[in-house]
Structure 1
């Protein structure tokens, strides 16, 4: 009998609580920014116009960077000292040229064995299971 006596009040309170929760959720959806699958990095150490590669995820570890194509990272004029011994785990393309859409990177010298492509002003973590040896800017589709 006691439950039957208070059931209407319990149901009313539950309905009010549900309505309040829905209102809070609706307001929050307008007040809070929507999350994205891949947030833009806040402080990537890669000079404007360069493409940068790191030995660790999240733009950490040792870095090599270029502002032009390089068909062999292990020979002059620009060399990447760790490219023969360490896998590349992250990349950021800070390119700014309107002539190019991205940078293509390769496991072999002279643009052999394409590993991936990263659009300008984008970057992120790579599989980290391979070494890279060359890259070039591209006007083609990337990403």
Structure 2
């Protein structure tokens, strides 16, 4: 059985976390890696229309940015690489900016494999910090919700 995690945010920003079983600052960039912007930034800094993953809670630490609606099957060797994912692919927070996607799914393994987790971006610019670090090596930006 795979465990899927869904995070949903209502209109007032309250979070609900469900576990479902299923069968199967812009400045301070430290580097640019094959098009993916990576680096330490101000808290929750994320370009308009983008999806940002951070190494620390509350949008802090190093960040990897993908243009909205762009899927990435391999954070370490795909079209846009995330430099810190090859040594420690853990994510502690995520931000989905307006126009980026209605939901974002992420996976602990390359090629969208492993237990899927999903963030439903109910409000533009939604921010979420995880209680436990999430291993992420691939993700999809979805135009719909977190359904399978």
The TM-score with structure 2 as length reference comes to 0.60
More strand by share: 2
Q: Give the equivalent residue in structure 1 for 2:91.
A: 88
The CA distance in 2 between the partners of 1:128 and 1:73, in whole Å, is 20
Q: Where in structure 2 are the equivalents of 1:1-20 lying within 5 Å?
A: none
Which structure 2 segments of 5+ residues have no match?
A: 1-11, 16-42
The CA distance in 1 between the partners of 2:133 and 2:13, in whole Å, is 26
Aligned partners of 1:93 and 1:119 also within 8 Å: no
Higher RCO (CA < 8 A, seq sep 6+): 2
Q: Give the equivalent residue in structure 2 for 1:69.
A: 71
RMSD over aligned Cα, in angstroms?
Answer: 2.4
Q: Where in structure 2 are the equivalents of 1:96-135 lying within 5 Å?
A: 96=99, 100-120=101-121, 121=124, 122-135=126-139
Aligned partners of 2:94 and 2:127 also within 8 Å: yes
User: What SS does the aligned partner of 1:48 have?
Assistant: coil
The CA distance in 2 between the partners of 1:76 and 1:104, in whole Å, is 17
* 4+ aligned runs moved over 4 Å, structure 1: 35-38
Q: Deviations over 1:89-130 (max 9, x none)?
A: 000011405xx4211111111111244212332221123333
Q: Give the equivalent residue in structure 2 for 1:12.
A: none
Q: Which structure has the bigger radius of gyration?
A: 1
The TM-score with structure 1 as length reference comes to 0.62
